[in-house]
Every structure is written in structure tokens, then in C-alpha cells.
Amino acid sequence: MKNNVTNKLRQQDAQVLAKGYSPAIRAMDIASIVIFLSLELFLVYQLWGNPHVGPWLLLSAVLLGYLASDFVSGFVHWMADTWGSADMPVLGKAFVRPFREHHVDEKAITRHDFIETNGNNCAISIPVAIGCVMMPHTSSAWVFLAAFLGSMIFWVMTTNQFHKWSHLDEPSPVIAFFQRVHLILPPAHHRIHHTAPFNKYYCITVGWLNKPLLMIGFFSLAERIVTRLTGLIPRKDDIGVEAAAELMNSTAKTEAPMVQAAKALLESAEDAESVSSARHSA
């Protein structure tokens, strides 16, 4: 079934997609980075010296924010890979187009500068950053929430940078070390996503949540829900209508690995119980 999907892939032209990065989009990226970093620095200023701030609170907020950013990166990546079109006004050219380009020319991201690489993530994080600086910060709960969300969107901002590094042929020794110990996205781990038809391992901050989400079938279930509600075919714009329809039909018949394992465990338990009952009756 996988070969059928791969044979039917009809992707878009990489050069056409690359030309979609217009001066207007670049201006938006620059503004997003400046606004986002200004808000993050202002949040640090607000929390600095706050009596409710403690080392354990900050450490737990940063670590949980890192984990949460991995999920956010996967969810946003899944949405941009799966739904919509590069021809959509504003959102299509600014957000969907880079993902379409990346699947037909995965090395393109290594040629993007800091602004093109990170502008999108800064743009989507600005509303959360505004919420963080507007919180009252008058209790440990409020401070933790602000620090957690501020940390999460900071790591969301770094996601595309980590993603870019995972595609480098020769990363620096420091980057390679962090990839090797899986503290940022490792190339071999991310390569699983770049196997056609690009329908798994969406988390690209660090990738820790990829296997658990695949085991419970999180994204495949989400796709079935969206399709049932809207009638849309997932990945139609990315891999072509024929391949997308083939993939949708094949995944609809496949249960999540965790469900399969649970069923196998139940069946083995039932078999053991039957054997035990037979022995007792004998």
C-alpha cells in the first residue's frame, strides 16, 4: 500500500514555491522577530526580581515549556503539512508554502537566513507573548504560567533553527553533540518524517513526543475527525489528489500501534486464561 501511495505522488515545483517568498513576506518576518523578541525581553524584565520567582519554579517552567514546544511544533507542522494550499491568500504564502517547498527540496531550509528561517514561528507566538506580559504576576501561579508560556514560545521560536540544523551536512561540533544526545532534533530521527508520504514524526523541536503520538495514533485520528467534519482530503495539496486519497483509505483501515498492542495483550491474556481453565477442569 505504501508503494502505491509513493508511485502516485504528485508534488509541486520547488523553484516556483521558493519564488513565493516575497518582499512583503520578508518584511512581515522582520517585524515579527523584532516584536516577539521585544515582548520576551519585556517579560524577563517583569519577572526579574519578582518575589514569587524561585529557581525551582523557573527550572520546571523552562523544562515543561520545552516539552510543550515539541508538541506545539508537531501540531503546527501537521496542520501546515496536511491542510490548506500554498495559493491561499496570506496564510498560504507565509505559512503553508515553506512546508510544501521543504518536502520537495529539504535542503532549501539550509539556504535560508535567520529571518526567513525563524520569522514564521515568531509571528504565531506574538499573541501568546502579549498574554504573558499582560498577566498580573501577583502570585506564584501567575508567575509560573507566564514563565511556562514564555519559555514555550521561546523554544517554539528556536524550533525552525533546530530543524534547519538537522538538515545540515556538517553541523558544528557543539550542534552535533546536542543532536547526538537528543537534546535538539537529531537528523536520523527527523529523516523518518521525510520518508514519503510525510505523515508521521511531525514534532521538530526535539522530537521526544513523536513516538508516543504515533503509538496512540494522535494525528491520524485528528485527520479522520477533520475529514468527517469538512470532507477535506488530508495532504491533497502536498502530494496530489490521487496519492492523498490512497493514503487516506489505507490509514483509515490501520489501527494505532498502541491499540494493536493492547488488543494483542488482551488476546494473549484470554488465551492464557483459557489454558488455565482447561488445566483446572482436567
d(CA 103, CA 196): 9
- Cell numbers 519585556 label which residue? 42
Average pLDDT for residues 249-266, to the nearest whole number?
A: 62
Average pLDDT for residues 66-81, to the nearest whole number?
A: 94
pLDDT tens across 178-211, in order? Answer: 999 999 999 999 999 988 777 899 999 999 999 9
pLDDT tens across 240-253, in order? Answer: 777 777 777 777 66
d(CA 103, CA 240): 13
Average pLDDT for residues 45-71, to the nearest whole number?
A: 94
- Residue 69: predicted pLDDT: 97
Residue 261 has pLDDT above 70, yes or no: no
- Residue 258: predicted pLDDT: 62
- Residue 165: predicted pLDDT: 96
- Residue 171: predicted pLDDT: 94
pTM, two decimals, is 0.79
With residues binned 3-state (H G I as helix, E B as strand, rest as coil), the percentages for the chain, rounded to 5, are: 70, 0, 30
d(CA 271, CA 278): 11
pLDDT tens across 219-229, in order? Answer: 999 999 999 99
Using alpha carbons, select from 67, 73, 238, 90 the residue that is nearest to residue 159. 73
d(CA 88, CA 252): 28
pLDDT tens across 5-31, in order? Answer: 544 444 454 455 555 578 888 999 999
Does residue 5 come out as left (phi exceeding 0), alpha (psi in the -120 to 50 range) or beta? alpha
